[in-house]
Each structure stands twice: as C-alpha cells, then as structure tokens.
Amino acid sequence: MKIEGEGKLLRVFIGESDRFEGRPLSEAIVRKARELGLAGATVWHGIAGFGARSRIHTAKILRLSEDLPVIVEIVDNEERIRSLLPHVDAMMEAAGSGGLVTLEKAEIIKYR
C-alpha cells in the first residue's frame, strides 16, 4: 500500500501493565488497527515516564518497574484513523487505563 500527502498520526500513551481481554492493551490496539486495514502500527516501550498521577515509572537495574510507559503510534489517512478511535476509547475504558490519546497532522512522504 502506498500513501502520500497529508495524513494523521495517532499516539496512544498507556502503561505496559494495561490489559484488554487478557492481552496487553498495546497488542489489542495493534490487532484492531490491522483488522480495520490501517497502514501500520508501532509500539514503543519507554524507559521512564509519569502520567496523570505523577508517579514515576522507570527501568533501573536495582528496581524494575512493573508498569513502564508504552506508546502505540499509527499513521494513515484521517478517515481510517478516525474509524479506529471509538475502538481505542472502548478498549482503554474497559482496561481501566488512565492513558492519553493524541491526534496530529502528519505529512506522509513514502510508505511501501
């Protein structure tokens, strides 16, 4: 699939311990994006971060956090991204996740 021009970048900020129907929430979001035919998705694991509760989660040698930050990024055209948003919202609500979702313009140069 080739996409060029203006698109949307969806970022979902969650914790690695967030679950949806027995699997990691990040995996559930990626699977739903694939099911809906979106161009692709990437999951990033962070080494440190904090969220709404201001509790710092970090990966250190002496103390490994059980809830490191995770970001799911998906780039596609606006229509496809917006078709995914209700599913992401429902998954995050069911997971009890206090995550954050951002949506921004993205100039897509090449996708093969």
Which residue range forms the structural domain that includes residue 91?
5-108
**Rounded to whole angstroms, how far apart are CA atoms 89 and 97?**
10
Please list the residues that pair with 15 across neighbouring strands.
69
- Asked whether the predicted pLDDT for residue 12 surpasses 70, the reply is yes
Least confident interval from 27-31, 54-58, 70-74: 54-58
Contact 43, 71 (CB under 8 A): yes
The predicted structure's pLDDT at residue 66: 67
Count of structural domains, the chain: 1
Retrieve residue 92's tokens.
């995050």
**Rounded to whole angstroms, how far apart are CA atoms 46 and 73?**
13
**Three-state DSSP class for 61?**
coil
The predicted structure's pLDDT at residue 49: 78
Domain at 14, CATH number: 3.30.70.120
Mean pLDDT of the chain: 87
**Rounded to whole angstroms, how far apart are CA atoms 43 and 72?**
4
